[in-house]
Structure 1
């Protein structure tokens, strides 16, 4: 990448977590029932929004519609997973933005490998050695067989951010993705340590349909976090605010 490209890039990055999915609902029900397997309706990539999730996506779109035209994102990029892409399409259509939603597979949710569809109880009972390895390594570095660690996801996102530096001065970008992806964006953009991002993950659930926003007015240099996990637009429109987070035990033990 040339020095000229590095001197001008995107000035705003809006991160939106997808609305509540059928998988979120199934996972919460499985955890409450103490069962080992989550009864998801499809493979992870194909799980769609719940009715509440669709309402949340519409509420996001109404909030986006209030953004002045000269400050609207000129690029909207989504995870390829159905719940995120559906959220992006509904939000953009509701906002009335004349922009096409693009898909980028690097924004997909973290892959869980052999632990996919299992509750933590299921992992403990079916793969006790993996449960112990996860406790020892912590969530940041633990990679389940066939899956990804958070550091693996970070590698994907670093390449996405590199491309933002090649867009040219003045561009604003909206990304619709997943809770872990948003947290790792924060880890990268704010230069966090492992301890700092795990502390954040342990104490904060990224809400469905929430908005996180980073800015850098000069289009270069460090990004500044303007708002995180903001869900006032849901409350103001009378839409249910839902919290579906992963295991809060994230630190190495």
Structure 2
């Protein structure tokens, strides 16, 4: 079993939640929509279209042959819009729950300011444990995300050996996918912050070289200019 020939991992375009959280920095926010229901903003739709333009510009030998997508609406919509602009024929698409965003459990509806006001003990634990070690009540740590992405990557290697793969997912998935592909120990997870934030509709690419996946580009957004 060997690696896919190429992996292109993208984050979805700007979502309504991305915009709401950005506009509420320092202000308590309770965002009541569930994660899987959140759709793209108009800017997010434009970013998805630009992603389609990027895919259209790829040489045939680099263009994706198969697609794996998060089940969340903002990722599915990003793929749909990008595919329309790309103009490629039908591609096999697999929706995989392991590509969902990091789960925040009982804190999923609150921004940091609201957490500090309503759940000060959790805010203190987050501060003490750090963003990459903290597991919210009923949610996931980044280590938990790494575990499911290792299982995903193992299955991807088995089913997409030698093929060119597009993954449409979330910032946490792209960030931790790099950690998993590099086979870094989870004790090093705190260090992944140097590669954040993962931008909306950004592109990260790996290619198979000498029996391993080599990073060619990470978190690239030049196609959005």
TM-score by length of 1: 0.82
Would the aligned equivalents of 1:15 and 1:177 in 2 still touch at CA under 8 Å?
Answer: yes
Alpha-carbon distance between aligned partners in 1 of 2:4 and 2:10, rounded to the nearest angstrom: 17
Q: What is residue 84 of structure 2 aligned with on the other side?
A: 93
Label 1:135 to 1:193 Cα distance change in 2 as closer, same or farther (>3 A). farther
Q: Does 1:212 align with 2:212?
A: no
Q: What is residue 145 of structure 1 aligned with on the other side?
A: 137
Match of 2:217 among 209, 217, 227: 227
Alpha-carbon distance between aligned partners in 2 of 1:46 and 1:104, rounded to the nearest angstrom: 16
Label 1:68 to 1:140 Cα distance change in 2 as closer, same or farther (>3 A). same
Alpha-carbon distance between aligned partners in 1 of 2:18 and 2:40, rounded to the nearest angstrom: 9
SS state of the match for residue 69, structure 1?
coil
Would the aligned equivalents of 1:89 and 1:101 in 2 still touch at CA under 8 Å?
Answer: no
Match of 2:10 among 2, 13, 16: 16
Label 1:143 to 1:39 Cα distance change in 2 as closer, same or farther (>3 A). closer
Q: CA deviation at 1:164?
A: 2.1
Q: Which runs of 5+ in 2 are unaligned?
A: none
Question: What is the total number of aligned residue pairs between the two structures?
Answer: 224
Q: CA deviation at 1:38?
A: 3.7
Q: Does 1:180 align with 2:180?
A: no
Q: What is residue 80 of structure 1 aligned with on the other side?
A: 71
Q: What is residue 36 of structure 2 aligned with on the other side?
A: 45
Label 1:38 to 1:216 Cα distance change in 2 as closer, same or farther (>3 A). same
CA RMSD of aligned residues (A): 1.8
TM-score by length of 2: 0.92
Would the aligned equivalents of 1:12 and 1:217 in 2 still touch at CA under 8 Å?
Answer: no
Would the aligned equivalents of 1:76 and 1:101 in 2 still touch at CA under 8 Å?
Answer: yes
Match of 1:70 among 57, 61, 70: 61
